[in-house]
Chains A and B, each alone.
Chain A
Amino acid sequence: MSGPKLCLWGLSRCLIYFLLLNVFGLLFHLPMAAAQQRLIALDKLQSGLAFTGPEILDLQGDDFANPGLPFLEKGAKLWNQVSGKNDKSCQSCHGELKSMKGAATRYPAIDKASGHLFNLEDRIRHCRQKRQKAAEWPLESEELLSITLYVTSASNGMPIKVSIDGKAQSHFEAGQNIFTTRQGQMNLACTQCHDQRYGIKLFTDKLSQGQPNAYPAYRIEWQRLASLERRLRFCYTGVKAEIPAWGHEDMRNISLYLMWRAQGLKIEVPSVRK
């Protein structure tokens, strides 16, 4: 009943905003003022852990039983492992892990050489290919996820802060666009669940805010470590939408938007999710 009316109201409101934006944009040079509006206030941000049950909380907090820990150990081994034609390990160039402090809080970021948007996995793959000249680690392989987890662990407890200036701006806008546009047979947008209805139950579990601060995470359902990209693909399945190919730029764009949206949330790995 109220659908069309709401739509019209939304449309006219959009128009007003658009006009206002133009006026202000022309007068005060604020082209991004409305586009960067936060749908969840910064002080309302909650890690996915807040929406899981006590079992997951216990498991993640357990220094022995946390299933992500073996992967962290594997990552540490890979960091020091020499491989490739250049006979180098990560350690030979970067030194100890503490040199990676804060790296995970800044990705996805623009790669200066190619101009593409890289997430942390892409950066590691690139490094492995160009600097180590070693065999490629496929996306979602245990090696790649383990080393990503290890590098991310250097930023544990640090607040997320990605840059959306310069070349990253168009990626940010594309990501925001995907996040707020209805898609799939369910005709749902990410924002409808994760901005407007978090905390409400969907089947047996609470809807989370969809925060990216704990990836790569050990997912109980998949019984293994999983990247943010795989988690996003699963959301596409959830709304019955066509999933982009592995490594597609769309996924990087959404990741960038999610990381901007989670600004200030603390990195927490190794994490466990349902």
Chain B
Amino acid sequence: MTTARLQLPARIVEGDVFKLRLLVQHPMDSGFLRDLEGVLVKRNVIRHLQCIFHDKEVFRVEPTTGTSANPLFEFYLRATKSGELYFRWVDDKGYIGELRQKLVIEPANQSKAPKP
């Protein structure tokens, strides 16, 4: 079982470039290490992780054995419209992890004077 947590800014306004942080709980066993009893632990890393927003892939990473356990992924998106962020990842054992998160984007403040 893997679980994940996502961190978003408290308030996102249209047009903002904001940071997303995704922490996936995963052992990321490299296949080179032994456990406390000296038995080689089989390789099990996240092979593929992607973020889909409005049916479009906005972020993808393909980690390998060099990535630490419980990896933290950070990336940026530009806010255009509200919707649902969908994260999906697959590991060597074939386990598919998923995370869905509503993204609410506030409209840009119209009363502000436009920039010259």
Interface residues of A (CB under 8 A from B): 64-65, 67, 70, 140, 220, 223-224
Contacts and interface: CB of A to CB of B under 8 A. Distances in A.
Interface string B48-77: 000000000000000000001110100000
Given A65-B23, A70-B3, A223-B70, 8 more contacts: A64-B23, A65-B72, A67-B69, A70-B5, A70-B23, A140-B36, A223-B28, A223-B68
A109 B23 CA distance: 37
A64 B5 contact: yes
B36 A224 contact: no
A67 B70 contact: yes
B78 interface: no
Interface of A is mostly: loop
Interface residues of B, number: 13
B111 interface: no
A142 B104 CA distance: 36
Interface of B: 3, 5, 7, 21, 23, 25, 27-28, 36, 68-70, 72
Nearest to B29: A223
Contacts, number: 23
A64 B7 contact: yes
B21 A64 contact: yes
A65 B5 CA distance: 10
A65 B25 contact: no
Contacts of B68: 220, 223
7 contacts: A64-B5, A70-B5, A70-B23, A223-B27, A223-B28, A223-B70, A224-B27
A140 B35 CA distance: 11
Contacts of B21: 64-65
**Which 7 residue pairs across A and B have the least CB separation, nearest first?**
A223-B69, A64-B7, A70-B25, A67-B70, A65-B72, A64-B21, A223-B68
Contacts of A223: 27-28, 68-70
Contacts of A67: 69-70
